A = this chain, B = another copy of it.
Amino acid sequence: MAGIAEVARAAGVSKSTASRALTGGGYVSQATRERVRDAATALGYVPTTSAVSLVTGRTQTVGVVMPSMDRWFFAQVLEGVQDALLERRYDLALYGAPPESAARREMFEHFLARKTFDGLIAIGIEPNARELERLVAFGKPVVSVGGYDVGTSAVSIDDEGAARIAADHLIGLGHRDIVFLGGDPDGRRTSFGDGLRLGGYRSAMRDAGLEASIRHVKSEVTMPGGYGAAVELLGDRRTRPTAIVGVCDEVAVGAIIAARRLGIRVPERLSVVGIDDHAYADMFSLTTLQQRPHRQGRAAAELLLRQIDEPGSPTDRLYEPSPLVVRNSTAPVDDDASAIIGVGR
C-alpha cells in the first residue's frame, strides 16, 4: 500500500500538508485538499486511524447526542451535521439519549469518558448537574443545538421570540382566547426550547393585556399528542378557544386534524399557528414560524470543527432567523363564533 510520502509527491505538496488534508487537522485550501484526496484515492492510500489517533490524539470523529431520532427536527439537524462532517471526512458517532434513560447515563458516564471523539454536538439536551460535570471533565469542544447552551457554543432560533410573534400574529387578527398547546415544562416531555416558546406566548399575551386569558394545555410533543389533546380541548364548546399556538408544527398539525374530525373549520372557526415549517406544514396550509434545522446542524458542525482546529478559540452563540410564513390556517377572529360560545374576556 502507498504511504503518505507517495501521496504527497503525487499531489505536489509537503508530507505535513498531505497529512493535514487527509486528517482534516488545520487549514488547507479546498483545491489542495481535493488534489491530495484524489492522489490518495488513486494510490489506494488509507490512513490507519488507530495509529494516527495515537500520534495526533485525534480520533477524526465527532460525537452527536440527542434524545430521539424519530422526530423531524432532530433528523434534519443530524443530516446537516453529517453533511458538514463528510466534507472534512470526519466520522459521526451517534448517541440516542432520552432524558433519564439508561442510554443517557451510559453516554455521559462511559462513552464521554472514553474520549473516542474530538468534540461533541448536543442536540436538544438539557444536562443535569452531574451531566454538566461530565461535560466539563470531557474537556473537548462542545456545541449545543436547540436552545440550551451549557456555557458553550450554541446554535438555535430565538424560541421565545418565535412564539411571541406567533401569538402576536393571532392577537393582531383580533383573537383573544388563544391557547398554547403542547409540552409540559415540569415534565420530561418538554425541551428547554419548548419552555422558552411557552414563555414567549405568555409575554405576548401579557403585553396585549390578555394575562387573564393565558392557557397552557399540555400534550406530548408529537402529532398524535397534539391531536389527542386538541380533541379534548375542542370537543367541549365551553373550553374551545378561537385560536391555538402549537409548541411546534407537529402539535399544530395534530390540532388541525382534530378540528377537521370534529367538523370545526380551519381557519374560519379556529386559527392555528405552529413553529418549525415542518415538511408537513405546506400540506396542511399551516401558518408557522420557519426554521431550518438542517442549516443549524451544519452551522453547529462548522463551529465545532473550528474549535477542534483552533483550541481556545472563543465560543459563539448563533441565532438562526425564523420568519413568519402566513398560509391558510389563520384568519381574523369569527366574532359570531366567540359570541355564541360566550368565552370570557
Which residues from chain A sit less than 8 Å from chain B, CB to CB?
Answer: 41, 46-47, 49-51, 53-54, 59-61, 64, 68-72, 75-76, 78-79, 82-83, 86, 89, 91-96, 102-103, 106, 109-111, 113-116, 222-224, 227, 254, 257, 260, 279-280, 282-284
Nearest to A281 among chain B residues (CB) is B224
Contacts of A75 in B (CB 8 A): 68-71, 75
B46–A113 CB distance below 8 A: yes
B69–A283 CB distance below 8 A: no
Query: How many copies of this protein are present in the complex?
Result: 2
**Closest CB in chain B relative to A104 CB, distance in Å:** 10
A93–B92 CB distance below 8 A: yes
A103–B83 CB distance below 8 A: yes
Other-chain contact of A70, B46, B51, B76, B94 (Cβ < 8 Å): B76
**Closest CB in chain B relative to A225 CB, distance in Å:** 10
Contacts of A47 in B (CB 8 A): 114
Best-buried of A54, A94, A260 by chain B (most CB within 10 Å):
A94
Docked Cα-Cα span, A72 to B284, in Å, equals: 19
Could you name 24 residue pairs across A and B whose Cβ atoms are closer than 8 Å? A41-B109, A46-B113, A49-B116, A61-B116, A68-B75, A68-B79, A69-B76, A69-B78, A69-B82, A70-B76, A75-B75, A78-B94, A79-B96, A82-B95, A82-B96, A83-B96, A89-B110, A91-B111, A91-B116, A92-B93, A92-B94, A223-B283, A227-B283, A257-B283
Contacts A70-B75, A75-B70, A116-B49; is A224 near B280 (CB within 8 Å)? yes
Other-chain contact of A224, B64, B109, B282 (Cβ < 8 Å): B282
B93–A91 CB distance below 8 A: yes
B279–A224 CB distance below 8 A: yes
Docked Cα-Cα span, A111 to B85, in Å, equals: 12
Docked Cα-Cα span, A61 to B117, in Å, equals: 12
